[in-house]
Amino acid sequence: MSVPLSPVLLESRVIAVLRAADASFLRPAAEMLAEEGVRSFEVTLTTAGGVDAIADLAGSLGPDAEVGAGTVLTVEDLEAVLAAGARYVVTPHTDPGLIRAAVRRGVPIVPGGLTPTELRTGWAAGASAVKLFPASAVGPRYVKDLHGPFPGMPVIPSGGVDRASAGEWIRVGCPAVSLGGPLLGDALAGGDLGELRLRAREVVKGVAEAAAEVSGG
């Protein structure tokens, strides 16, 4: 049985993927994003000092935000990020054993896949949702096609989701979208946080409008 996605993510519908050469830039960027309504943060383990960065953000962003871990490849990675305070985990691949390990620990997990077989395998193993990666290879219509045979499978696109198209993924039934570079830009390399604020507003507005259309609001 899967662990549900958090209300924080289901309300905000945007995951900010934080991947940086220098983890010191993560907190200012995350705090800015949180002010604009992006409240779910995936710190990738390809970030130098990623586990420590998870602990830092988990302790600083407060209860209205959640910090997760990305690029989790092994059970050892899983244990390390949970000890640091990660509230969900994301993988770039489909590993049923790792999914079951997360479920046993009561943590949401979103494994990556591209083909129907990979995505369904992750969902059947107990994933909270599946990550369509790289989403740029297929586009939003692919999710509609997947929901033909797999109507109950939540799909979160990642890899190539841009600001302009974020809402389209919500319109085809995705519970959330995952954005890295198109949202963060150069903010994780010491770039302009004012520009980051504007990008965040664009994404949040587009996703909120799409969600309202889907719900009929």
The answer to whether residue 37 is domain-embedded is yes
Report the CATH number that the domain containing residue 184 is assigned in CATH.
Answer: 3.20.20.70
With respect to residue 128, please indicate whether it lies within any of the assigned structural domains.
yes
75 lies in a domain? yes
Tens-digit pLDDT string for the chain (217 aa): 899 999 999 999 999 999 999 999 999 999 999 999 999 999 999 999 999 999 999 999 988 999 999 999 999 999 999 999 999 999 999 999 999 999 999 999 999 999 999 999 999 999 999 999 999 999 999 999 999 999 999 999 999 999 999 999 999 999 999 999 999 999 999 999 999 999 999 999 999 999 999 988 6
216 assigned to some structural domain: no
Q: What is the pTM of this model?
A: 0.97
**SS3 per residue for 147-166:** CCCCCCCCEEECCCCCCCCH
* Distance in angstroms (rounded) separating the CA atoms of residues 189 and 186: 5
Tell whether 217 is covered by a domain: no
* CA 168/CA 139 separation, integer angstroms: 9
Whole-number Å distance between alpha carbons of 106 and 200: 30
Question: Is 119 part of a structural domain of the chain?
Answer: yes
Asked whether residue 1 is domain-assigned, the answer is no
Q: Which domain holds residue 62?
A: 7-211
What amino acid occupies position 190? G
The total domain count for the chain is 1
2 belongs to a structural domain: no
